[in-house]
Amino acid sequence: MDRRSFLASSLAAGAAFSVGTAAVSAQGKSNSAKFKLRYGPGFGTFQAHVGKDIIDNIKFAADQGFTAMFDNGLMGKSPEQQEKIAAEMNKLDMKLGPFVLYPNFGDSDLMVGKRESIDAFLNKVKEGLQTCKRTGCKQMLVVPGKVDQRLEVEYQTANLIEVLRRTCEIVEKENVVIVLEPLNRRDHPGQFLYGIPQTYMICKGVNHPCCKIVDDMYHQQITEGNIIPNIDRAWDQIAAFHIGDNPGRREPGTGEINYQNVFKHIHSKGYDGVLCCEHGKSKGGKEGEIAFIEAYRWADNFQV
């Protein structure tokens, strides 16, 4: 059954997993049934319904059955706000997905071995651990930078592996994992990490449980596709997922990725981590937020 037919029939029948516009708008909640996987909306996903307050967004997400949240900018929030977020997430038994520690889109310093930049990066790692302690988040996301056109890629790979080994020595004490995100070169031309296979090779080279991959399936569909086979091949090095359909980078069911099958496969592998909903919405306002929830109800409606 396709998404449109699924939604029409479930709404008409008043099924337990469906979401109705009136129910959400009038009562601020739609369905307390938990999703099979830990899909994590961003802190601002439901502003049209509950405003910009983060705690209200967390509560609303829990009311819809979500058991995770994520915020790329978590590290930039005040310590007091981080602690408040953690308290609410703990109360609702929700997990936090990885936040962005090091989003480097401008230089190749880590790959060419520039000492002062490496030292600055390692200090950033130590700073990020304070956010982890306050929030309970156990994953920090790294985009290491651009490829250098003047130095052989093998040397750059070896340099990055060495930096990441030093990073792991710092984060292992707190049981925190660095997750590397490969980006597609259509949207982010020139980035060093460009696909799951290459990032898998680097994690194997680092050879430490604190260095893993965040599999952003929007990026992966563009770079190499073959999403399920690549999940299987890289499984021992994947620690988190990002969601976004392609084209458009919006909610599941708006593009060409069969997220219902993908989620079923991830669930079958026993995954209990966060799948960050790192995408936009196909519609604005409350209607778009309802469509967001319905999309995940549809994609999560797979047979176990």
Q: What is the dihedral of CA 85, 89, 94, 99, to 10 degrees?
A: 20
Q: What is the pTM of this model?
A: 0.91
Please check whether residue 12 lies inside any domain of the structure: no
| Helix intervals (H) in the chain | 3-13, 21-27, 47-50, 54-63, 79-91, 109-112, 115-135, 153-171, 196-206, 217-223, 227-233, 259-268, 285-299
Identify whether the C-beta of residue 222 lies closer than 8 Å to the C-beta of residue 261. Answer: no
Alpha helices of 142-284 — where are they, by DSSP H? Answer: 153-171, 196-206, 217-223, 227-233, 259-268
CA 81 – CA 197 distance, rounded (Å):
37
In a domain, 94, yes or no: yes
The pLDDT > 70 percentage for the chain reads 89
Q: Give the CATH number of the domain where residue 127 resides.
A: 3.20.20.150
In a domain, 11, yes or no: no
Q: Which pLDDT value is given to residue 113?
A: 98
Residue in the block written with tokens 């703990």:
90
Calpha distance 185→197 (Å, rounded): 15
**Which of residues 1 and 149 earns the better pLDDT score?**
149
Residue with tokens 């009562």: 27
Number of domains in the chain: 1
Residues 6+ apart with CB under 8 A from 283: 291
The answer as to whether 8 is a domain residue is no
pLDDT of residue 3: 54
Residue 20 resides in a domain: no
20 pLDDT higher than 90: no
- Give the domain extent around 89: 25-299
Token output for 229: 């086979």
Residue 15 in any domain: the answer is: no
In a domain, 256, yes or no: yes
CA separation for the pair 234, 236 (Å, rounded): 6
- Convert the pLDDT of each residue in 248-289 to its tens digit: 999 999 999 999 999 999 999 999 999 999 999 999 999 999
Per-residue pLDDT tens for 32-51? 699 999 999 999 999 999 99
3 occurs within a structural domain: no
